[in-house]
Amino acid sequence: MSAKVQRGQSEESLGRMSDESAEAGGVTRRTVLRLGAAGGAGAALVAAQGFGGPLLSQRGLLGADGAFAATSAALGDTLFYIEAFPTSPLILSPFSDPLPIPKAAVPVPKSEYSAWAKTPGPGPGEQSSLGNSQHQIWPSDIGYPDPIVYKFDVQVDTHAFTTSQVLPIDSSGRPTASFDVSGTTFAAGTKRTLPLSTIYGFNGTFPGPMINAEYGKPALVRFRNRLDENPQNLDRQDFGAPDLSFLTHLHNGHTAPESDGNPHYTMRYGPQYEGYRPKMSCDNLYLNWPAGGLDAEKQSFLWFHDHRMDHTGSNVYKGMVGLYPIYDPKNGLDMGDERRGLRLPGVRTNNPDGSFDVKYDVPLVFFDARLDDGVTTHQDMHDGMGEFPAAKNPATHPEWWGKSFYKHFPNHGFVGDLFTVNGTAYPVMEVKRRKYRFRFLDASIARCYEFKLMSSTQGPKSSVSLGYTGDELQGQYRIPDAQQCMKFTQIANDGGLLPFPLVRDSFELWPAKRREFIVDFTKYQDGTPTTKGDVIYLTNVGKMLNGRKMDSYSRIGLDPAYMVPMLKFVIGDNPPVPDYSQMPAPTKMLRPLPYLPGNWQNMLDNRLIFEVQRGSAGGEMEWLVNGKAFEPATVATSLKNKAGLTPLAQQRKNSFNLWEIRNGGGGWIHPFHLHMEEHRVVMRNGQDVTGGVSATHPDDTGREDLINLDPSESTIIYRGFRDFVGPYVAHCHNLAHEDHAMMFGWEVTP
């Protein structure tokens, strides 16, 4: 191992990691990255062997030394070619399961957590069960009350995507054979009930719990790893971190590094490992304190998800997703009570346990999956690294028929063909004749969506019945005669309330993005009142056949035949009490933007520059930032800026700067995420966008934690680095890209 690798890391922790590798019976993926740091050929060799040497050599892709002899493009295409995906069985009764609407998580009473063997607290060693980490800021340090305490166990459990019967089909849409765990084969045409999928979830559910948070009231979550327990003796299949470790990131809380799920932190402090392993616990402290203590920095909808280095995609796909709407009680502005403040839709009930629920304020989590067809070979380069020896891959797994399917290294990112909302495929929701607030979250690995509200006289038809095959079957249903019937009023994006609402016909949702909307179910866009029993479909019109980028969407031109219904709204009764909410006019100020210095252009020459690009080494280092794979022991270095400097990605606490994030490739999009503070896009492709609405990215006007980078785009963002010190990360939120090294470390220094 090279000296470079060991920088900032103790011999002891490295030694422990190699022991673990030996225990796991294979080379860890982190080791592969290490070899990469020592020399590209070494990494390529390991990657090639893991991937299947004979196959590569048959294809003329292995040199005499066993390293890849191919260009990255040929290699990438080979990987893509080899990675076949199953076709999910067709759901026969869509829009019959109700949309699950989460209830607020229940806090742990003080009487209970005071009796824990290790109580949450501000002292040295009290941040995790490892006893070597401390909360940087305890609520009392900022004049806040003690945190509300939650306990979420990370558990093995089951999940049903549908209760409907399904018809097994092949990629041509023809009925095909199916299987079960006992080895039975069912003839083509046999309708089946789906087996339950095994998940790793917060409290064993998908989506996991929802914390309704409030500014000024900190929350502390004790995450405990119980993934080693398997009381139902469930088959764990071949994805999810093989060592059963996890790491939780509250995306994008203004959170100290020890509670933020940063792999950059985690590898160096606390667990000194990629995540928290079984029987370990950590207390993530979410202060619910806006950056700088400023109202203008308040957010409105966060989510928490796994961030375990190298396996974030598979852990998230396996269920580690939770929700975190955050309300602002100051002057009643946005406190979940539509009679006060901005009068956004919401009827609040305070629960005796200290939590509260808000009716008519509904999170919608979008997640695409694939279900095993029993005949697709499970094979990717990681199978050669001993990650799941019991699966004996490459192999088919008829015993897993109908359960969720995932492979770690889909070269272009993973897209599913079964679309779910709040964990249910094609659900239905009965709505009152009133206004609703919907909080949209894309929790998918790589899929982007574009949503419209549409009506139809003929209703949905299965894509199979319309003659589609192959990738065009994705989404399973279409509405050939759909017409837009309502508009969305956007009130927030990932950074919180927008300065002003935006009225939109449709909007895109990229991975990890949040966008919030008011929908008025009393009337259509032409003013006609709705009537009881009317049906409106939330429809995906953005087609994305693989993880590269969308194939058709409004900005480049829609495929008029691609209208996939995802959620059916049925108009119900008038509400039992009046709707006191108000639809904000386009001129209504929701939340003013934070201060931007008038002379921000003066900072351009000294900006930090990060370019994201597909690498030439392939394998574990497929996706790079500034030509480098993620290295948790170091901070990244900027490309040379106009001032001729290449600064380290270090910022003084309470400073501000411009960072340029650039997509160096023309073939892919990247949803690029920066931890810890919201930013504001000030330039896109060389154009100053501070003055108004950007044509390509309309809500660039607000604060964000994700930059949507179209192919070859460049953005310059302005952001602060306030309140905390220590290591953080920034990374692509196409989780296949993140897990294959498109991430960099940066830090805030005292």
Q: Segment near Cu ion (CB under 5 A), from 2-10, 220-228, 523-531, 735-743? A: 735-743
In contact, 443 and 365? CB cutoff 8 Å: yes
Which of 28-36, 215-223, 334-342, 669-677 is the region at the interface with Cu ion (rule: CB under 5 A)? 669-677
Nearer Cβ to Cu ion (312/734) = 734
Smaller CB distance to Cu ion: residue 67 or 674?
674
**For residues 325 and 362, what is the distance between their CA atoms, to the nearest angstrom?**
10
Least spacing, CB of residue 734 vs Cu ion, in Å: 4
**171 near 87, Cβ under 8 Å?**
yes
Q: Least separation, in Å, of the C-beta of 688 and Cu ion?
A: 26
| Closest distance to Cu ion from the beta carbon of 437 (Å) | 30
* Closest to Cu ion by CB, 418 or 732: 732
- Of residues 215 through 274, those in contact with Cu ion by CB under 5 A are none
Binding mask 614-653 for Cu ion (x = CB under 5 A): ----------------------------------------
Compare residues 408 and 737 and give the one whose CB is closer to Cu ion. 737
Confirm or reject binding of residue 670 to Cu ion (CB under 5 A).
yes
Crossing angle of helices 11-24 and 29-38, in 10° steps, is: 130
82: enclosing H helix or E strand:
helix 72-82
Burial of 59 (0-12, 13-18, 19+ CB in 10 A): middle
Binding piece for Cu ion, criterion CB under 5 A, among 114-122, 385-393, 513-521, 726-734: 726-734
- Residues 271/258, Cβ–Cβ less than 8 Å: no
Looking at the Cβ atoms of 412 and 437, the one nearer to Cu ion is 412
Nearer to Cu ion, 568 or 737 (CB): 737
Nearest approach in angstroms of CB 550 to Cu ion is 14
- Nearest to Cu ion of 35, 732 (CB atom): 732
- Cα 637 to Cα 744: distance, rounded to the nearest angstrom: 9
Nearer to Cu ion, 378 or 737 (CB): 737
Segment interacting with Cu ion, rule: CB under 5 A, options 152-160, 269-277, 516-524, 663-671:
663-671
Question: Which residue has the closest beta carbon to Cu ion?
Answer: 732
> Minimum distance from CB of 733 to Cu ion (Å)?
7
CB of 732 to Cu ion, least distance (A): 3
Q: Give the residue with the Cβ less far from Cu ion, 700 or 738.
A: 738
d(CA 319, CA 566): 20
Q: Which is nearer to Cu ion, 217 or 549 (CB)?
A: 549
Nearest to 464 by CA among 90, 38, 87: 90
Stretch that binds Cu ion, among 72-80, 220-228, 297-305, 665-673 (CB under 5 A): 665-673
Both structure tokens of 364: 């919608």
* Smallest distance, Cu ion to C-beta of residue 492, A: 24
- Looking at the Cβ atoms of 107 and 511, the one nearer to Cu ion is 511
**CB of 612: closest distance to Cu ion in angstroms?**
6
CA angle 245, 741, 610 (to 5 degrees): 130
CB of 448 to Cu ion, least distance (A): 11
Convert 188-215 to b/e letters by CB count within 10 Å (16 or more is b): eeeebebbebbbbbbebbbbbbbbbbbb
Stretch that binds Cu ion, among 23-31, 73-81, 488-496, 736-744 (CB under 5 A): 736-744
Residue 447 near residue 506 (C-beta atoms within 8 A) = no
**Stretch of 75-83, 134-142, 635-643, 733-741 contacting Cu ion, by CB under 5 A:** 733-741
**Cβ count within 10 A of residue 23:** 9
Binding mask 678-717 for Cu ion (x = CB under 5 A): ----------------------------------------
Residues 6+ apart with CB under 8 A from 575: 432, 433, 434
CB of 70 to Cu ion, least distance (A): 22
165, containing H or E segment: strand 165-167
Q: Residue 614 Cβ, how far from Cu ion at the closest point, in Å?
A: 9
**What is the closest distance, in whole angstroms, from the C-beta atom of residue 147 to Cu ion in the complex?**
34
In the complex, least distance from residue 737 CB atom to Cu ion, rounded to whole angstroms: 3
Stretch that binds Cu ion, among 304-312, 391-399, 560-568, 670-678 (CB under 5 A): 670-678
Helix or strand run (H / E) with residue 156: strand 148-159
Q: Which stretch binds Cu ion (CB under 5 A): 255-263, 483-491, 531-539, 662-670?
A: 662-670
Report the b/e string of 595-622 with b at 16+ CB within 10 A: eeeeebeeeeeebbbbbbbbbbbbbbbb
User: 594 by DSSP, 3-state: which?
Assistant: coil
Site size for Cu ion (CB under 5 A): 4
Q: Does 370 interact with Cu ion (rule: CB under 5 A)?
A: no
Total Cβ atoms within 10 A of residue 336: 27
Select 218 or 547, whichever has its Cβ closest to Cu ion: 547
Q: Output the CA–CA distances (angstroms, integers) from residue 638 to 21, 606, 635, in the order listed.
A: 33, 10, 10
Q: Is 734 in the site for Cu ion (CB under 5 A)?
A: yes
Whether 406 contacts 444, CB under 8 Å: no
Determine the residue type at 554. Answer: S
Element (H, E) at 77: helix 72-82
Cβ pair 498, 591 in contact under 8 A: yes
By CB under 5 A, name the one of 82, 732, 735, 743 that touches Cu ion: 732
Stretch in the footprint of Cu ion (CB under 5 A) among 62-70, 372-380, 639-647, 666-674: 666-674
Shortest Å distance, C-beta 23 to Cu ion: 32
> In this complex, which beta carbon is closest to Cu ion, that of residue 549 or of residue 670?
670
Helix (H) or strand (E) run with residue 56 in it: helix 40-58
Nearest-approach distance from CB 739 to Cu ion, in angstroms: 11
The secondary structure of residue 175, as a DSSP letter, is B
DSSP states of 308-354 as a string? -TTTHHHHHHTT-EEEEEEEB-GGGTBSS-TTSTT--S-EEEE-TTS
Give whichever of 670 and 697 is closer to Cu ion, judged by the CB atom.
670
Q: Which is nearer to Cu ion, 473 or 732 (CB)?
A: 732
The minimum distance between CB 670 and Cu ion, in angstroms, equals 3
Cβ-based nearer residue to Cu ion, 530 or 734: 734
Which residues, including other chains, have CB under 8 Å from residue 526's CB and lie 6 or more apart? none
Contacts with Cu ion, residue ranges (CB under 5 A) = 670, 732, 734, 737
